[in-house]
Structure 1
Amino acid sequence: MTITATWSYPTAIRFGAGRISEIADACASAGITKPLLVTDKGLASLPITQNTLDLLETAGLGRAMFSDVDPNPTEVNADAGIKMFRDGGHDGVVAFGGGSGLDLGKLVAFMAGQTRPIWDFEDIGDWWTRADADAIAPIVAVPTTAGTGSEVGRASVITNSQTHEKKIIFHPKFLPTIVICDPKLTVGMPPAITAGTGMDAFAHCLEAYCSPHYHPMSQGIALEGMRLVKENLPLVYADGTNIDARAHMMSAAAMGATAFQKGLGAIHALSHPIGAVHHTHHGTTNAVVMQQVLLFNKPAIADRLAMAANYLGISGGFDGFYDFVGKINTTLGIPKSLTDLGVKNPDIDVLVTSALKDPSCGGNPIELTRENTRKLLMACL
């Protein structure tokens, strides 16, 4: 079976194997005549990136690339990218890669026309209204992993290089104009990255599903997203060339980021500061803390997860769902604890303080306090 579709929710998505060939047409549709391709250091020299630059160059759109992007991108990376965008006279961004490349590419397009500093647009209250919306450059997003779903997100996660805190920068026009989801671009992902990014997609769906906020559309998307991960992540981990399973995982990633408009929770509240301070892989960190967060939230989510378990074909209600998470983590080679992940001698107080300041806290089914967050973090170590 060949999976191909064209969607307009939440934005225009060109989905299917080989559709990277449409990159120049996508730029034209977005009104971009001189794009800057933004990606991360690891992807810059790979064939999938160079082939995309070839397509842009052949179409007369130039061959400009910015790739000074760290795994947890910072405002230092952003400033360098913004300078290149402005100096080169670019009029749009092709955000290319995993979460880091996508997030920084979107931020460059957002910030290139602004006069205020990045942190003035943090996802707090109505701070996003401070931005000059007309000065935001158009974005074409091309994910090369199946995890963050940043290609359909209205925010970027940026690490403050001074405080080592992850900040969420938000504006509705962060949402790319056009997305190209080509599962062939994900075939080269190493198994460990396939696993970590896939569990990131699962965490997005799981936390959105468990969030107490009201958003039935997101609720349904989250439930089906979990099913796609459950059925396809073990397949692509075992055989990275399985294009249909890769396609389903790309769908699940976009679904997770669409669903978490309903909210995230303690998984991400813990993962963000741990990643910022200890430089762990975001999705893998989510997977490591997932079971402990499930136990923490059990009083509030047991019945809801029992319904999800039924839909997913998991017996045993909440306990069966909990056991499933443990089994899939083992299958994917996910470390058993944060210590095993490489979190050594953590400053617990600093991590707890940062976790409680993270916007994800607001979607957790049980209110996070300094005392219970500390216990939860200690249980994950």
Structure 2
Amino acid sequence: EKKIIFHPKMLPAIVISDPELTVGLPPHVTAATGVDAFVHCFEAHCAPGYHPMADGVALEGMRLIADALPRAYDNGKDIEARADMLSAASMGATAFQKGLGGVHALAHPIGAIFDTHHGLTNAILLPYVMRANRRAIEGNCETICRLLGLAAPGFDTLFEWVLSFRTRLGIVNTLAEIGVDVNRADEVATKAKGDPSDGGNPIELSVADYAEIFRQACVGELG
């Protein structure tokens, strides 16, 4: 099992984010952890509830990541890109006090059961969960599209951008490609429904919904 252990007194008093310490991070880890930071911001922005400060921080985090992550992926010694990514990662962690959602609810048990990389798991799952949440996040997607300067703002535009962004960063499309067994859908789905992140999803997902999203992500069913 993967559990979240949290208490205010566990938070550090000071954080030193030094981009030089991340220069040696390999491209595939840079991509996976970077998209994880994007998912933190995206899920926080789409989480229900009123928290305009978290929304603002999440939006700026996504803007930074969209620009800086491909640069850091291409050239790990790009200090400005690395610095922007550290800032965006911290912003994602700040924003998700508002909540996370189905991507993380699934990624936690998948990581526990199959020992997958957390960031990579989130990166693979993102479009599958986006599609499940479509009716509740249309407005969020339009806002994010405008922020990223994408033409024809809306769900479909952002969905296609996410797919292209993953491809640009070498992220595979299915969970099966990282060793996840589709036959454990019920187990994963039950654990996902019990994960704290489930409460932040913009619509209520049932165990059956999680099982179907998991199956789709294993076989690559995005149509």
Residue 327 in structure 1 maps to residue 164 in structure 2: yes
CA-CA distance at 1:304 after TM superposition: 1.8
CA-CA distance at 1:346 after TM superposition: 4.2
- State how far apart, in whole Å, the 1-side matches of 2:187 and 2:110 are: 10
1:129-208 map, 5 Å: 165-208=1-44
- State how far apart, in whole Å, the 1-side matches of 2:139 and 2:182 are: 37
Gaps of 5+ in 1: 1-164
1:12-91 map, 5 Å: none
Deviations 1:223-277 (A, max 9, x none): 0000000000000000000000100000000000000000000000010000111
Gaps of 5+ in 2: 219-223
User: Higher relative CO (CA 8 A, sep ≥ 6), structure 1 or 2?
Assistant: 2
1:220-231 map, 5 Å: 220-231=56-67
Give the partner amino acid of 1:355. Answer: A
Give the partner amino acid of 1:240. Answer: G
- Of residues 181, 188, 204, the one that matches 1:344 is 181
CA-CA distance at 1:192 after TM superposition: 0.6
- Of residues 359, 363, 370, the one that matches 2:200 is 363
- State how far apart, in whole Å, the 1-side matches of 2:144 and 2:175 are: 27
Aligned residues, how many? 217
Partner of 2:216: 379
Deviations 1:63-98 (A, max 9, x none): xxxxxxxxxxxxxxxxxxxxxxxxxxxxxxxxxxxx
CA-CA distance at 1:377 after TM superposition: 1.1
SS in 1 for 2:3: strand
Which has the larger share of helix? 2
Partner of 2:93: 257
Question: Which is higher, the Rg of structure 1 or of structure 2?
Answer: 1
CA-CA distance at 1:311 after TM superposition: 1.3
SS in 1 for 2:173: coil
Q: Percent identity?
A: 53
The 4+ residue runs of structure 1 with deviation greater than 2 A are none
CA-CA distance at 1:347 after TM superposition: 1.4
CA-CA distance at 1:341 after TM superposition: 1.9
Give the partner amino acid of 2:62. Answer: M
SS in 1 for 2:5: strand
Q: Is the 8 A contact 2:68 2:82 kept in 1?
A: yes
Partner of 2:142: 306
Say what the alpha-carbon RMSD is for the aligned residues. Answer: 0.9
TM-score (norm 1): 0.56
